[in-house]
Structure 1
Amino acid sequence: MKVMAVVAAGVVLAAVAVGYTVHAADRPAPETAPGAIAPGLHVRTADGTVSGTSLSCHRFYAAGDAAVCLAAKPGFPPKTTATVLGRDLTTRHEVEFGGTPNRARVSPSGRMVSWTVFVSGDSYTASGFSTRTGILDTRTGYLVKNMESIQLYLDGRRHHAPDVNFWGVTFAADDNRFYATVATGGRTYLVEGDMAAWTARTLRANAECPSLSPDGTRIAFKKRVLPGADDPWRLHVLDLATLRETPLAETRSVDDQAAWLDDRTLAYALPGPDVWKVPADGSGAPELLAADASSPSMAP
C-alpha cells in the first residue's frame, strides 16, 4: 500500500511516535457502505453501525465534507483504524495505530480530523491510563502522530513533563485554531492550540472533552465536581469572551465529548447507552434523543 509522506508545511514537531500508517485514497478502494451521510443527527446504534449507513464504528463524527469512523481491530495489543470518508462514503484516508477508540472530531470544513485512543486502562478513572491523540490534515496529508510533541505553555510558562496527555480535540472554523484537554501533574486543563505555530496554551483548569459551538463563541466541557467519585462530571458551557461558565440542567455524570446540535442545544451519551439533549444556556431539562445509541454527531 502507498504510504503518504508527512508534509513539513512549515510546522516542526519535536518528536513523532511509531506504529502509524496513512493510506492514500488512490489505492484500491475497500468496501464502503452504500448511500451517503445525509444532513441531520447520526448516532452509533445498538448493533455498532452508524444510523443511516452500514458503517461499523466505535466512534463516529461528521462535519463539512468529511466524516471519521474509528473502529477497533481484533487482537492483542488493541489497535484502531481511523477511516476518513467523504460525504458519499468513499474512503479518502486510513490511519492505523495502537489503542482503543475513545474520541473523534472533524473540523467544520471537513479538512482537519482528530482522534483519541486509550493505550492503557479503559476509562479516565483507570489507574495509570494514557492517551494518544492524532491530527490529520486531509488536504495536505500532514499527520501529527502524537500531540504530546506540541509546545505546551502552562500558565504562560513552557511546560515539559513525562506525564502530559492530550485528548478530545475540537476545531475552529479556520482549520488552524483548536481546543483540547491536557492532563499533567494530576490536573486537567483546557488548552487553545495553534496548528501552524504548533503551540498550545492553557486557558483554565478542570475542563475535559471540549466541544466548540457552531458560532465559535462557547465551549461545552465536562467539569469534575466530585473528586474521587465514581460519577464525578457535570456538563458546563464556557463563554470564550468572558471565561464565564454555566452549569447545564443535566445533573447526571456525563463522561462524553458533547456534540452541538445547533448553537442552542447539546447532545451527549449516558450509560445505557442512550443519547440525550439539553439546552446550552443552563435552562430547561434533559430530553431523551435516541435510545440504545452513543457517539452523537450532527452533520450539516
Structure 2
Amino acid sequence: MTPLRRRLLILVTAVLLLAGLGTGVVLRAADRANQANQPQPGGPAVSAGKLTLEQKDRLTFLNAAAGPHRRAVASVPSTDPGGGRIAASLKCARFYAAAGTGICLQSVPGVLKQSNRALLLDANLRTLRTFPLAGNPSRARVSPSGRFVAWTVFVSGESYSSAFFSTRTSVLDTRTMRLTPSLEAFSVVLDGKRYRAADINFWGVTFASDDDTFYATLNTANRTYLVRGSLSRRTVTTLIENVECPSLSPDGTRVVFKKRVPSGVSLWREYVLDLGTLRETPLAERHSVDDQAVWLDNDTVAYALPAEGKVGSSDLWSVPADGTGTPRRLIAGASSPAPQ
C-alpha cells in the first residue's frame, strides 16, 4: 500500500468513527429527551385542554412535570392546586399573566444557535406580537391592569450566582406598543444623587396599580438595590440595599424579595419589606430561593424550588407573608405561577 493510500484509509476510518460517535451521542440525547417527555409514575394528572386568562379563581403556571406537556402553560383551581391540571399547547421558559394579558418567554432551538423571543398574549393565549430577545429568559411580569409588560434576559452569564453576568430589562406598553428596550436608558438617583455607571444592570420588575410606578433590582459596583421607578418620568430612585427580584403585594404596601445572605456559596433568603417603614421580616422558608416570588393574596406568597431528586424540575411552595407558619408545597412539578 502506498503512503497516499494509507493516509486516505486512515482519514476515512477516522471520519467513520467520528460519525458513529456523533450518531451515538445524538441517539443518547434523543433517548434522554424522550424519557423526559414520558409521564412519570405517580406524577400529577395532566390533560390537554383550552385555557383562558380570564378564568376566575384559577392558578396559571408552567407545567414542570415530565411528560408531553412539560413547559406548557397549565392551570388548576385555586381551591385545589394539587388536583388535575389542564395544559395548553403553548410552551414557555418563563410566563406571567394579569388582567387577560400574558407574556411568554421562549428559547427555541436552532441549527446553529437557539432563538429567544417574547410573545405577547391575549386572554386566549393567542400571540399578538413577537419580540426578539437579546439573551436567555430570566424574569417576566405584567402590570395589574395588563397595560405594561416587562421581561429580563441574561445577555451574558447563566444565573444571578454567576461571577460575571449582565442583564437587560425591557418594558412594553401594550396600549401603544411602545417598547423600552432597556431600563438602563432611565435616569438613576442613588443615595439622593444623580448616578451614572457603565456596569448598571436591572432585573425583576414588579408593577404598581397606577400604571406608572414600578419596583426593580438595580445592580452596580457589586451592590444590589431596590429601586422605585416612574415610567412616565423615566427615572428610578434607590430605596434600600441587598434586595433582588421584588414582587409588590396586591395592596401595594409591601414587597417580597430575595436577600443574599453571608455564605461560601450564593444563597438567598425570602424577606418581606414594608415600604412605609422599610422594616424587613424574614419568612419561614429556610431554603435558598432563586426566584421572583408571587403574591397569591395579601397574606401568602408563592415561589419555586428545585424538585428533590428531579433534575431540571421544580415545585411551587407557599408561605405566610408575616414570617409565621411553615412552608408547604403548593403544586408539584410547576414554576412561574400567576394567580387569576
**Bin of the TM-score, shorter chain as denominator length:** 0.7 to 0.9
Aligned match of 1:235? 270
Does 1:93 pair with 2:143? no
Number of residue pairs matched by the alignment: 266
Aligned match of 1:45? 63
- 1:96 deviates by 1.0
Aligned match of 2:311? none
- 1:133 deviates by 0.5
**2:154 & 2:271 partners in 1: Cα distance?**
24
Name the SS for the 1:148 alignment partner.
helix
**2:115 & 2:246 partners in 1: Cα distance?**
25
- 1:90 deviates by 2.5
Gaps of 5+ in 1: 1-32
Q: Do 1:79 and 1:98's aligned partners in 2 also have CA atoms closer than 8 Å?
A: no
Q: Do 1:78 and 1:98's aligned partners in 2 also have CA atoms closer than 8 Å?
A: no
* TM-score normalised by L of structure 2: 0.76
**2:115 & 2:192 partners in 1: Cα distance?**
36
Amino acid corresponding to residue 258 of structure 1 in structure 2: A
**1:72 & 1:135 partners in 2: Cα distance?**
19
- 1:146 deviates by 1.0
Aligned match of 2:225? 189
Amino acid corresponding to residue 160 of structure 1 in structure 2: R
CA deviation profile, 1:63-120 (whole Å, cap 9, x unmatched): 1120111111224555421111111223222211221111000000000000001111
Gaps of 5+ in 2: 1-48, 65-69, 76-87, 308-313
Does 1:162 pair with 2:198? yes
- 1:177 deviates by 0.3
Percent sequence identity is 55
Aligned match of 1:36? 52
Amino acid corresponding to residue 111 of structure 1 in structure 2: R
CA deviation profile, 1:211-265 (whole Å, cap 9, x unmatched): 00011110000001124424x1000001111111100000110000000101110
**1:227 & 1:63 partners in 2: Cα distance?**
36
Does 1:284 pair with 2:325? yes
Does 1:107 pair with 2:147? no
- 1:285 deviates by 0.4
- 1:35 deviates by 3.7
Aligned match of 1:131? 167
More helix by share: 2
Name the SS for the 2:138 alignment partner.
strand
Does 1:201 pair with 2:243? no
Aligned match of 1:247? 282
* TM-score normalised by L of structure 1: 0.86
Aligned match of 1:260? 295
Amino acid corresponding to residue 145 of structure 1 in structure 2: P
Aligned match of 1:80? 116
- 1:121 deviates by 1.1
**1:228 & 1:238 partners in 2: Cα distance?**
25
**1:207 & 1:81 partners in 2: Cα distance?**
27
Amino acid corresponding to residue 188 of structure 1 in structure 2: T
Amino acid corresponding to residue 42 of structure 1 in structure 2: T
User: Where does structure 1 differ by over 3 angstroms across 4 or more consecutive aligned residues?
Assistant: 75-79
- 1:201 deviates by 0.4
**1:94 & 1:290 partners in 2: Cα distance?**
30
Larger radius of gyration: 2
CA deviation profile, 1:112-145 (whole Å, cap 9, x unmatched): 0000011111111112111011000000111100
Say which is worse superposed, 55-64 or 71-80, in terms of deviation. 71-80
Say which is worse superposed, 248-257 or 36-45, in terms of deviation. 36-45
Say which is worse superposed, 74-83 or 160-169, in terms of deviation. 74-83
Aligned match of 2:82? none
**1:97 & 1:288 partners in 2: Cα distance?**
32
Say which is worse superposed, 66-75 or 131-140, in terms of deviation. 66-75
**1:258 & 1:106 partners in 2: Cα distance?**
14
Aligned match of 1:26? none
Name the SS for the 2:184 alignment partner.
helix
**1:80 & 1:248 partners in 2: Cα distance?**
34
Give the structure, 1 or 2, with the largest relative contact order (CA under 8 Å, sep 6 or more): 1
**1:294 & 1:228 partners in 2: Cα distance?**
27
RMSD, matched Cα: 1.4
